[in-house]
Amino acid sequence: MARISLDLAHSYQPHPRQDSDYALLPLEMAFEDGGAYALLGPSGCGKSTMLNIMSGLLVPSHGKVLFDGRDMTRASPQERNIAQVFQFPVVYDTMTVAENLAFPLKNRKVPEQQIRRRVGQIAEMLELSGQLDQRAAGLSADAKQKISLGRGLVRPDVAAVLFDEPLTVIDPRLKWQLRRKLKQIHHELQLTLIYVTHDQVEALTFADQVVVMTRGRALQTGSADALFERPRHVFVGYFIGSPGMNFLPARMEGGRLDVAGHRLQIPAGRALPAGGLQVGVRPEYLALAPAQQPGALPCTVSQVQDIGTCLMLTAKVGEHTLKARLSPATRLPSAGDTVWLQVLGEHTCFYRNEELLA
């Protein structure tokens, strides 16, 4: 295994001139040995480009890729000792499940006995033990993709295993199970796993560290908790969570804080600089408050939905919409009612130019 560090940028164009010409803007980051990472972001943000640069399928147009401090920028995937699992199954139909799983080990001339042991272990982890002697040809797409996952995980000596949206073809019911299984496999095998997805649930279930990306930028790398509690960029606040973070325009002037046109008391212990700000608060932390309570705003209810585990309240403060997750025990307001929502509190984040300030 290896610590993989990147200090690079990539453009598919020969003469990039502006930020939009880059699939990856200049970034510096490291993937620690044995970690479980996810690269998360919307389509086209640069996830596959970053993965392919790590695997050696793509040479970055600028900068370097280091494995344990060694420059591997131009090394092939074989030289890097990387295993990859793609969106669609890569299996040999004429081989049995066991032969497919053994293939990467046979290629490396691993002794037969060790191969049998490792194939047995991986098959058991992925619940393929009962199908080891079956030919891959007759298997379902789910089972074939499980074989691909197994082939990625079977070598104990790889620098890292890279997964590019590996659960796309998997049936939704099995998807949930496999996500958890991969997490468990990570704990058992202690391999470095890097997993590309645009699905936040997939990323947050699987990974210890999630890299949130947009438009060629890696905005924040953090645990599920850090990304939820302290998004360092408004995009992270908006992209993580369901629904995402609420944002309201604010302004500090002459030591006074104005949020969406209302004067509010600055929360204790927060020093805010003068000028324009954005206030970010998660729907989970917006609570109903008594009228005129410090830090609360009067809002007009647009909609209340009972979504089982909670009530989802949609309300307007001026032209701005807020979403609040309220406990099911809450007395139900009706559309058109005025309610006070506690916007400022210990979980509230303040942003300037989209970056977290406090």
Ligand X SMILES: Nc1ncnc2c1ncn2[C@@H]1O[C@H](COP(=O)(O)OP(=O)(O)OP(=O)(O)O)[C@@H](O)[C@H]1O
Asked, as a colleague might, if the bond just before 60 is cis with ω within 30 of 0, I would say: no
- CB of 23 vs ligand X, minimal distance in Å: 3
The span of 46-54, 175-183, 285-293, 341-349 binding ligand X (CB under 6 A) equals: 46-54
Task: Between 12 and 112, name the residue whose CB sits nearer to ligand X.
Answer: 12
If one asks whether residue 47 binds ligand X (CB under 6 A), the answer comes out as yes
200 contacts: CB under 8 Å, gap ≥ 6: 40, 239, 240, 242
* Distance, CA of 148 to CA of 242 (rounded, Å): 31
Contact pick of 12, 19, 74, 180 for ligand X (by CB under 6 A)? 12
Task: Between 198 and 262, name the residue whose CB sits nearer to ligand X.
Answer: 198
If one asks whether residue 49 binds ligand X (CB under 6 A), the answer comes out as yes
Q: For the stretch 117-142, what's the b/e string if a residue is b when 16 or more beta carbons lie within 10 angstroms of its beta carbon?
A: ebbebbbebbebeebbeeebeebeeb
3-state helix, strand, coil in the chain (%, to 5): 30, 35, 40
- Contact string (CB under 6 A) for ligand X, positions 16-45, x = contact: -------x-----------------x-xxx
- Contact string (CB under 6 A) for ligand X, positions 188-227, x = contact: ----------x-----------------------------
- Angstrom distances, CA of residue 87 to CA of 156, 236, 320: 22, 25, 40
Instruction: Please choose, from the candidates 80, 179, 73, the residue with its C-alpha nearest in 3D space to the C-alpha of residue 126.
Output: 179
If one asks whether residue 246 binds ligand X (CB under 6 A), the answer comes out as no
Task: Between 86 and 238, name the residue whose CB sits nearer to ligand X.
Answer: 86
- CB of 214 vs ligand X, minimal distance in Å: 9
Q: Longest C-alpha distance within the chain, in Å?
A: 76
If one asks whether residue 8 binds ligand X (CB under 6 A), the answer comes out as no
Query: Which residues contact ligand X (rule: CB under 6 A)?
Result: 12, 23, 41, 43-49, 198
